[in-house]
Amino acid sequence: MSFDDYLDQLPDTDPAETSEWLDSLAAVATQRGRTRAAFLMDRLLERARDLGLGTAPGVSTPYINTIPVSDEPWFPGDAALERRIRSFIRWNAVVMVVRANRAADGIGGHLSSFASSATLIDVGFHHFWRGKDQGNPGDHVYFQGHAAPGIYARAFLEGRLGEADLDRFRREIGGGGLSSYPHPRLMPEFWEFPTVSMGLGPINSIYHARFNRYLQNRRIDATDESRVWCFVGDGECDEPETLGAISLAGRESLDNLTWVINCNLQRLDGPVRGNGKIIQELESVFRGAGWDVIKLIWGHGWDPLLANDHDGVLVDRMNATVDGEFQRLAVEDGSFDRENFFGPDPRLRKLVEHMTDEQINRLPRGGHDAAKIYAAYRAATQVTGRPTVILAKTIKGWALGGDIEARNATHQIKKMTSEQLRSLRDRLRLGDVITDDMIADGDEPPYVRLPEGSPEAEYIRARRAALGGSLPRRVITNRRPMNLPGDDVFAQLLAGSGAQAASTTTAFTRLLRNLCRDEAIGSRVVPIVPDEARTFGMDSLFRELKIYAAHGQKYQPVDHHLLLSYAEAVDGQILEEGITEAGAMASWTAAATSYATRGVPMLPFFIFYSMFGFQRVGDLIWAAADARARGFLLGATAGRTTLLGEGLQHQDGHSLVLASTVPACQAYDPAFAFEMALLIRAGIRRMYEHGEDVFYYLALYNENYLMPPMPDGDIDEIAAGVEAGMYRWSEAPAAPVQASVLFSGTAFAAAAEAQTVLADEYGVGVELWSVTSYKALREQAMETERWNRLHPEATPRQSLFEEHLAAGVGPVVAVSDFMRMVPDQVARWCPRPWASLGTDGFGRSDTREALRRHFETDAAHVVVAVLSELARAGQIDAAVVTSAITRFGIDAEHPAPWLIDR
């Protein structure tokens, strides 16, 4: 369906008049040309917009700068000094990568991404980005990961890094090196935002800007002095995460957000859109999403040409040239450009006849023109009610010389010959500081510093001082300290559910409400949910806490008469993200890093369908870990069998495997409400009292059973066991033969039933252990093992896991609603015979009972597993096992669940 189809449905009240207009347009197009006709149409549409006629907004404009020359402000900087400073930065960025690769072949690094964005970045540093020295957190700048060498090079000129630091680019082992890309985990006082996994910086920046608004609207922190800037690659725009959330920024009027898309027309392998125009494509997409779009395509040299383009032929040519051709023009020399870009049309050729080939070759692209960049940034910071994207056209590898600039291989080049370095030096006009013999073959090319007291050194210092200090810088100044809750918040949960059955999910919702009501911590709690609150029984919180809505609630909800109606408010506390786990995760990251980015600790709980967590947004979780996020992730409806009915794409039996791959993640599988409460209590202390940069992942289930109270004893002692990963849940009944069963989560029921059956019918006394975290046990065991390996003559230490189990006798059987891999993490440290039961294989729809039989995790299978291990150890007769298998109706010849679906 096209636009015409829609028009055909509207009544034409005066067809004669319509024809008149249409005929005149057609006449202009034939007699004066298409360009003229298009121009007239654009003018008419402009007037229509001014008159408020409600015509459909245009989404694309010609391939020229959005800001007319006449609207460009005076450039307040000293252009010559800035160019000179930039030359130093460009040089050092190159030398850093080149030296690193001479010292250690293959160590990598990138030259050409920064070479293309150096001016874009520099103008921000000199004129816009506010640091943190003026009493507020300043601006939040997300740099393109591959531009990292340029950021280090600037830090070097500012005196924040020394030569020894630069020489340790990508050499981090032993401490003190510079990380390849922005990693707060590795350089916690420098980098703030991990960006190098493409697409994550962009989506995180949107939700960061949104979270700043949330903080402001909830009156927790004044954030209007901070702007979020994000540098994005044009190739990076192909990642779904990059563009997937831009409409949120438009919808929520995030005028505190500015994106700069570095349109060098290339990605890693070749052109981003060889046959098209990435800038035009992005313009439409962003305009459609409600952003202000500033195209910065041409540098100053083009201004007089465009001013003399009376026939519009130059604009036509610009519109018609595809990116692959523009890339070619960048590679070739001026005479080629004269022939091939200007040449075919005599009017165009005439436009540049006064110029030399060299001058044509040097016609700059907008993204290399400081004054035009300044104009774009200034306009962006003045837009209200909308986010802004600047589409800046650049050349990849700019100034690095003909062998590198705009070549398809440019992204991967990390070495330069002395010859190439000499020509770079000349191009940067650094002949006065770098002599030929300093870059002779075989010698290390030198870093160059601005002489102390030189106008350049003074300028860079003064500019950053005026803007509030150096960037990037990660500091933790607790501007708005958060008080920790007392134990009374947890009391209800520790008491158990009495005679009423409950799930760990409903228990969590209760705890969340208690936390939100707590005077100390309540306002800092950030509940985040991606359209799943009803699934988790959290909709009861809507009315009480309200859903955050940037523009309030402009309608009366259908359920307004109900006590628990859908309630949105500007100062709402719940972030109801809609169906976007990626967006919700980005929100969580913003909240979970707010202690550092804003000095305002927040306590985020992101509760999601556990299947759509680690598996769906694992890379965002990894980035959050890099960013030193603190908070809670809750994988609800966890378990391959507990979530009955839903089937293969819903039943999660492996998020704990995935969670075990994230070093900072504290992954838990609590069985009882009190365990869950103790874990959250412990997590709050660890993260917010002791300042540990970890986060928690808890699997929550939707199965109702009686939640026992916390066992008698000292709360801290019991909590320590739950936190360490295991504690004895019940003693073994007296019996001649003994075994241990380890359960996690909802597998408690099978374990407890097996315990009774084994005692009553087989004379086997089984002790039960609740294992809350195999990941924690494994890490502790690995640590012990390592210590023993490295201290061969000392008395060997025992891991916690070994120590606990060494005290008992007989086999150990582990059961959980997750894959066997989860308990098997600790198998090699088990001092007794080991067997594990779990849910390996695809889920399917059925009842819990049927699923547990299918996956062989029900009580019958626990009984058989214990008996089988006892028989293997010669403690009972094998015939006992056989009879149990028959008795429980287990089909011994049935193929294993994980083999069935292959």
For ligand TPP, the binding residues (CB under 6 A) are 113, 116, 144, 146, 196-198, 233-236, 262, 264, 266-268, 272, 396, 411
State which H helix or E strand residue 433 sits in.
Answer: none
Least distance from ligand TPP to the Cβ atom of residue 206, Å: 17
Q: Contact between 397 and Mg ion (CB under 5 A)?
A: no
Indicate which of ligand TPP, Mg ion, none lies near residue 146 (CB less than 5 to 8 Å, by partner kind): ligand TPP
Task: Tell me how far apart the alpha carbons of residues 239 and 227 are, in angstroms, rounded to a whole number.
Answer: 24
What count of other Cβ atoms lies within 10 Å of the Cβ of residue 182? 26
The contact pattern for Mg ion, residues 760-779, with x = CB under 5 A and - = no contact, is --------------------
Shortest distance in whole angstroms from residue 264 CB to Mg ion: 4
Nearer to ligand TPP, 282 or 822 (CB): 282
Q: Which of 66, 205, 256, 264 binds Mg ion (CB under 5 A)?
A: 264
Range 108-122 burial, b when 16+ CB lie within 10 A, else e: ebbbbbbbbbbbbbb
Least distance from ligand TPP to the Cβ atom of residue 585, Å: 15
> In DSSP terms, which residues pair with 51 in a beta bridge?
none
The encoded tokens of residue 377 equal 């940034």
> Which part of the chain contacts Mg ion (CB under 5 A), choosing from 20-28, 177-185, 260-268, 724-732?
260-268
In angstroms, the CA 152 to CA 170 distance is: 12
CA distance 762 to 755: 10
Please say which residue, 264 or 506, places its beta carbon nearer to Mg ion. Answer: 264
Angle at 759 between CA 755 and CA 764, to 5 degrees: 95
Q: How far is the CB of 590 from ligand TPP (least distance, A)?
A: 20
Residue whose CB is less far from ligand TPP, 182 or 601: 182
Q: Which partner in ligand TPP, Mg ion, none is near 268 (CB below 5 to 8 A by kind)?
A: ligand TPP
Query: Residue 639 has which token pair?
Result: 């378990």
667: three-class secondary structure by DSSP: strand
Q: Which stretch binds Mg ion (CB under 5 A): 258-266, 695-703, 811-819, 848-856?
A: 258-266
Contact 589, 207 (CB under 8 A): yes
Q: How many residues bind Mg ion (CB under 5 A)?
A: 5
- List the single partner that 309 binds among ligand TPP, Mg ion, none, CB under 5 to 8 Å by kind: none
In whole angstroms, the minimum distance from the beta carbon of 44 to ligand TPP comes to 37
The partner in contact with residue 198, picked from ligand TPP, Mg ion, none with C-beta cut-offs of 5 to 8 angstroms by kind, is ligand TPP
Largest CA distance in the chain: 106
Q: Which of 653, 743, 738 is nearest to 705 (CA)?
A: 743
Between 149 and 496, CB nearer to ligand TPP: 149
Closest separation in Å from C-beta 617 to ligand TPP: 13
Residue 306's nearest CA partner among 318, 295, 320 is: 318
Closer Cβ to ligand TPP, 620 or 865, answer by number: 620
CB 324, min distance to ligand TPP, A: 15
Using an 8 Å Cβ cutoff, are 179 and 192 in contact? no
Quick check: 410 binds Mg ion (CB under 5 A)?
no
Retrieve residue 147's tokens.
């531009």
Applying the rule CB under 5 A, the residues between 211 and 230 that interact with Mg ion are: none
Choose between 264 and 744: whose C-beta lies nearer to ligand TPP. Answer: 264
DSSP assigned state of 639:
B
Give the DSSP H or E segment for 735: none
Decide if 367 contacts 296 (C-beta within 8 A). Answer: yes
Residue nearest to ligand TPP (CB): 233
Q: Which residues pair with residue 834 across a beta bridge?
A: 812
233 lines the binding site for Mg ion (CB under 5 A): yes
**Residue 779 near which of ligand TPP, Mg ion, none (CB within 5-8 Å, type-dependent):** none
Please pick, from the candidates 158, 221, 234, 568, the single residue that binds Mg ion as defined by CB under 5 A.
Answer: 234
Pick from Mg ion, ligand TPP, none: which does 196 bind, CB < 5 to 8 A by kind? ligand TPP
Ordered alpha helix ranges (H), 218-277 = 240-244, 246-251
Token pair listed for 795 = 């008395």
* Residue 234 and residue 272 in contact, taking contact as beta carbons nearer than 8 Å: yes
Partner touching 509 among ligand TPP, Mg ion, none, CB below 5 to 8 Å by kind: none
CA distance 772 to 778: 12
Q: How far is the CB of 121 from ligand TPP (least distance, A)?
A: 11
875 binds, among ligand TPP, Mg ion, none (CB under 5 to 8 A by kind): none
CA neighbours closer than 13 Å in the CB half-sphere of residue 569? 12
Cβ closer to ligand TPP: 233 or 897?
A: 233
> How many angstroms separate the CA atoms of 331 and 336, rounded?
10
The phi, psi pair for 569, rounded to 5°, reads -155, 155
Distance CA 391, CA 297 (A): 8
Helix axes 112-127, 455-466, angle to 10 degrees: 70
Task: Pick one of ligand TPP, Mg ion, none as the site partner of residue 420 (Cβ within 5 to 8 A by kind).
Answer: none
The structure tokens listed for 11 are: 């009544």
Cβ nearer to ligand TPP, comparing 278 with 511: 278
Q: Which of 124, 138, 235, 897 binds Mg ion (CB under 5 A)?
A: 235
Counts for the chain of helices (H) and strands (E), in that order: 37, 20
Shortest spacing between CB 722 and ligand TPP, in angstroms: 37
Nearest distance in Å: CB 370, Mg ion: 20
Name the residue nearer to Mg ion (CB basis): 93 or 248: 93
How many angstroms separate the CA atoms of 843 and 854, rounded? 10
Pick 406 or 529: Cβ nearer ligand TPP:
406
Ramachandran angles phi, psi of 736, nearest 5°: -70, -30
- Provide the minimum distance between the beta carbon of 233 and ligand TPP in the complex, in angstroms, as a whole number: 2
Q: How far is the CB of 231 from Mg ion (least distance, A)?
A: 11
Nearer to Mg ion (CB atom), residue 92 or residue 266? 266
For residues 198 and 424, which CB has a smaller minimum distance to ligand TPP in the complex?
A: 198
- Residue 406 Cβ vs ligand TPP, minimum distance, rounded to whole Å: 11
**Among ligand TPP, Mg ion, none, residue 236 binds (CB under 5-8 Å by kind):** ligand TPP
Q: Closest CB to Mg ion among 235 and 683? A: 235
* Rounded distance between C-alpha atoms, residue 507 and residue 493, angstroms: 7
Q: What type of residue sits at position 509?
A: T
> Which phi and psi (to 5°) does residue 772 adopt?
-90, -25
Q: Which residues bind Mg ion (CB under 5 A)?
A: 233-235, 264, 266
